[in-house]
Amino acid sequence: MMRERVVVTGLGAVTPLGNDVPTMWEALLAGRSGVAPITQFDASHIDVRIAAEVKHFDPVALFGRREARRHDRFTLFAMEAARQAIADSGLRFDDELKRDSGVLIGTAIGGILSLLENYEVLKTAGAHRVSPFLIPMMMPNAASGNVAITYGLRGPNISVASACATGAHAIGEAAEIIRRGDARVMVCGGSEAVIAPLALAGFGNMGAISTRNDEPEKASRPFDAQRDGFVMGEGAGVMVLESLSHALKRGARIYAELVGFGATADAFHITAPDEHGLGAAQAMEMALEDAGLVPEDVDYINAHGTSTPLNDRVETKAIRLVFKSHADRLAVSSTKSMMGHLMGAAGAVEALVCVKTLETGWVHPTINYEYPDPECDLDYVPNQARQMHPRVALSNSFGFGGHNACLAFSRWEGQ
């Protein structure tokens, strides 16, 4: 049986570089950093005092006071990104299409901000003052559920959690749902809002996060020899996927085609990647095989590129394992150099960036690349955007637990 082809028809984003796709994309190509001192709380008492926060996000203006109070920040990000993506797609959901449309939005952590806030209420004011909305605010599937409720989408409704590979897994699995004919439309992606003292302290005590507090804009420096850890970010990325037949029938504008998906496990360590890069390499190989591509077909890789010493070295090794001599002809850049690590939303936003790269022909830079690392020896598009009109792009996402995901997109040039 022929599988349905899957295309991207709508994009939405809430990020540290802007609360819509055009603003975010302009900032990425300009090489601007979204990292700054933390403003959401007083961080003076902890070692990590910088983050890539979403700025000027007003949920009351977007949703009204009553609705804004009923959702965690991560759900509000997802709902706004989904609204943008659906509007961008031009879809109109009649009753038949509602039945054939689903939602798959993941998160690594879920509503931790609501949990922490209500725990403080419990301690200071007692159990009766805890919000009756706490459970639906903190549950990880809240974003998927609320987007489906908003638009009446009655198809598959799922949430995934695979640490920092979550957003990529959500998009890949949403594509599989369309491919096997269980939906014609999927609203999918990832969302995260975990900038809180407890989370920062936990990552800081692991030694995973940058403490370059005096130079926040230079703190995230993937593949650079002086990298000292990732920078925590927040936000959401959502895209609308459709079967090609449905998109063509309604005359939709098509951004790109999602042609391949690979998912593997390192089965090695709960936080550290396999130092040989085997799991990451296998995910890329699976995505290429799924797409019917060979390594030489790929022009650009949006790297996981966290700015941690081990991850960047291992990802470089994995890329060389898969692409061999062609690795020297690849453009490889890290979105995290500018917007930090969006955790469960990272893979979704970075997949969206790959789609924009294919649509526009521009590759954004890896900023803060100043000191080459001999163990990171690829073309990381240092510090300045590049026009190169790639035909095929991969998006890599790897997460704690040994989760690996790779998405392959191709430029849309018609049937």
**255: CB partners within 8 A, 6+ apart:** 7, 8, 9, 11, 355, 356, 358, 359, 412
Distance (Å, rounded) from C-alpha 224 to C-alpha 200?
A: 23
- Under DSSP, is residue 11 helix (H, G, I), strand (E, B) or coil? strand
- Give the count of beta carbons closer than 10 Å to the beta carbon of residue 313: 18
- Under DSSP, is residue 119 helix (H, G, I), strand (E, B) or coil? helix
Please pick, among 71, 169, 246, 341, the residue that the annotation labels catalytic.
341
> 169 with 405: CB under 8 angstroms?
yes
> 284 with 300: CB under 8 angstroms?
no
Name which of 217, 375, 262, 407 is nearest 311 in CA terms: 375
Distance (Å, rounded) from C-alpha 83 to C-alpha 85?
A: 6
What are the helix and strand counts (H, E) for the chain?
15, 14
Distance (Å, rounded) from C-alpha 170 to C-alpha 189?
A: 6
Is-catalytic flag, 376? no
**229: CB partners within 8 A, 6+ apart:** 207, 208, 209, 210, 211, 307, 308
Distance (Å, rounded) from C-alpha 352 to C-alpha 346?
A: 10
**290: CB partners within 8 A, 6+ apart:** 259, 260, 261, 262, 408
- Give the count of beta carbons closer than 10 Å to the beta carbon of residue 294: 11
Please pick, among 304, 364, 376, 403, the residue that the annotation labels catalytic.
304
Is-catalytic flag, 341? yes
Please pick, among 164, 188, 354, 376, the residue that the annotation labels catalytic.
164
* Residue 110 tokens, joined: 């879920």
Distance (Å, rounded) from C-alpha 10 to C-alpha 85?
A: 5
Burial of 248 (0-12, 13-18, 19+ CB in 10 A): middle
**35: CB partners within 8 A, 6+ apart:** 16, 50, 51, 52, 216, 217, 219, 220, 231, 233, 338, 339, 340
Distance (Å, rounded) from C-alpha 29 to C-alpha 362?
A: 8
- Give the count of beta carbons closer than 10 Å to the beta carbon of residue 310: 13
Paired with 236 in beta bridges are 14, 191
Paired with 204 in beta bridges are none
Q: Which residues are catalytic?
A: 164, 304, 341
